[in-house]
Amino acid sequence: MRIASGHTSIDVASTGTGPAILLVHGTGDDKTCWRQVVPLLAGRRRVHVMDRRGRGGSGDAGGYAIEAEAGDIVAVLDHLGPATLVGHSYGAICALEAASRAPSSVTGLVLYEPPVPVPGTPDFSGVAARVAGLCAQGLREEALCVFLVEVTGLDPGLVRLLRRVPGFAERAAVADTVAREIDATHRYVLDRARLAALDVPTLLLKGDRSAPGLHDAVAMIAELVPRAVTEVLPGQAHRAMEGAPALLADAIDTFAGRYSHEAHTR
């Protein structure tokens, strides 16, 4: 289904029955990145996956900003009803912003390594310019590779292998959105007062093999959000939805179940 949001529309796919969960993907992805996680949750949950603006079945609009992404998520929640909101990477920043704007629509918040800038975070504006330039030349796979190596820190050899995996071309098709999200992340500043007032149960997930900067970002948010708890995914880095989908699904499902009764009694 397509849900109107401002001057665009957001595509959402749904499956399963039970309390609602909304999954929000990160940069360089679309909703298909959750393909291994969804069936593991759908036995007990109504699982919704959305394409963020500019990719998949969703539309796009000018004047890009994280605030617009947050507005898209709120529009989806307004249509679906209250849900556990799950965001990965940049999608976790968007989910955090959405929850802080519409907390009554969020029964629980799960954030997997939001790349919030911390002291020492590199300036990736040059990388964003290179990615945009490659996309302008139609070299989207090369653009996505630059992002994966230089921003997410994946080994170049692994990225060469990923280019051979089915689905990489589909991921590269949305590479036009990567540069603007790199820039938006670099400019992002946490609203500390708003987060300190966020009365939503929050689970912060991190892989024990992820970059130190992502661990620092998780720690920063944990200090600000009153009801936040942190869980480490053993043996995982930034993409447990592919590396250990059952582990990730179990963490989400356990957390969502813990607060479902509270959500119904608010």
SS3 letters across 148-163: HHHCCCCCHHHHHHHC
Backbone angles phi, psi at 14, to 5 degrees: -135, 150
pLDDT tens-digit series, residues 147-159 = 989 888 788 988 8
Quote the crossing angle between the two packed helices 178-187 and 125-136, to the nearest 10°.
160
Q: What is the pTM of this model?
A: 0.93
pLDDT tens-digit series, residues 48-81 = 999 999 998 999 998 899 999 999 999 999 999 9
**Which residues in the chain show pLDDT less than 50?**
264-266
CA distance 256 to 223: 21
What are the residues facing 241 on neighbouring strands?
A: none
CA distance 48 to 38: 9
Going from the C-alpha of 237 to that of each of 122, 185, 209, 244, the distances in angstroms are: 19, 19, 5, 10
